[in-house]
A = this chain, B = another copy of it.
Amino acid sequence: MNQPAHQFASDNYSGICSEALDYLQAANVGDAPAYGNDEWTQRVADKFRELFETDCEVFFVFNGTAANSLSLSALCQSYHSVICHETAHIETDECGGPEFASNGSKLLLAKGELGKLDPTDVERLIIRRCDIHYPKPKVVSVTQATELGTLYTVDELHALRELADRHGLKIHMDGARFANAVVALSQTPADLTWRAGVDVLCLGGTKNGMAVGEAIVFFDKALATDFAYRCKQAGQLASKMRFIAAPWLGLLETGAWLRNARQANAMAAYLAERLKRFPGVRLMFPPQANSVFLELPESTVGALRARGWLFYTFIGVGGVRLMCSWNTTPQAVDQFVDDLAHSLA
């Protein structure tokens, strides 16, 4: 009944990878205590601590909007503000979720090339006001990989940390596609997070091959005080938690989380490679993770859609976003490129 894999619309169009599903089924034997008091949840939390090489606090919520909104609201009060890139998901695609969860915290929009925060512009936002008539900046939010498929280097993260320290701000990372960043940068999860100064990470499971469920990882454990209450109150505490915990364990234990990300990245690279050869097709950003942005004539966009291709023309950026996923195949890439060739012709 589902759509054919005729799409580069989003990595959330893909289903559940086999490793996640296997663990979900394994967790479905017998009964288990609810609300995370089961062994799967305990195991996966330990696994996260091992993965990040530190004694962090781990929570699970249902989706990325919730992960970002609740973790940000743990970092700031209603009269504080969060600095993010103008293309950040928390600004453009969460329908005011952070403002709702925090009861009013404002997002301050910074600029920066390639979808990445420019520290100079972040600092401008921090220092331009110091009166009580404007929300006080309290958090810098980075997205890794960014909404434009680009990546912060470790050095860039350190620079933001240094800036945040100077002004007493916390650092939040939206890691809906964190796995894609890990494999693309060949860095350890620890080096890309707490060792680079990240206080809390929202780690995406859904786009990595799960049905549902994101992890929130607090590296600064003090920030996690009473956070379980916050999740519960916000309707984000799963009663049958094992069905989020076990698939996560499946991704981590089998290495699928990195394999899935690697496949998605590889397909984006392959797609970009093929696209570059077209005269007149311009890639908008360097495809560093699992998406490719390109400029196409309106008529070509229409022609591709007429052939059944699904993709987004990206809000606030213009151009076409082609998103690859853990289950994207070279055949799909080839077919898209062929259809593009026909459409351009």
Q: Which residues of A contact B (CB under 8 A)?
A: 1-7, 9-10, 12-16, 21, 24-35, 38-40, 43, 61-67, 69-70, 77-81, 92-97, 99-106, 128-129, 132-136, 206, 211-212, 226, 228-230, 232-240, 242-244, 310, 315, 325, 327
Contact = CB atoms under 8 A, between A and B. Distances in A.
Number of copies of chain A assembled together: 4
Interface of A: prevailing SS = loop
A15 B240 contact: yes
A134 B2 contact: no
Contact of A78 (B9, B65, B96, B236): B96
A322 to B, nearest CB: 14
B2 A14 contact: no
A70 B79 CA distance: 12
A95 B135 contact: yes
A100 B27 contact: no
Contacts of A239: 10, 12, 63-64, 206
Nearest to A103: B103
Nearest to A230: B79
Contacts of A236: 62-63, 66, 235
B40 A315 contact: no
Given A2-B242, A79-B96, A96-B106, A232 B133 contact: yes
17 contacts: A1-B26, A2-B40, A12-B239, A15-B32, A63-B239, A65-B232, A77-B226, A77-B229, A79-B100, A79-B232, A92-B133, A92-B134, A93-B134, A95-B135, A96-B135, A128-B315, A212-B243
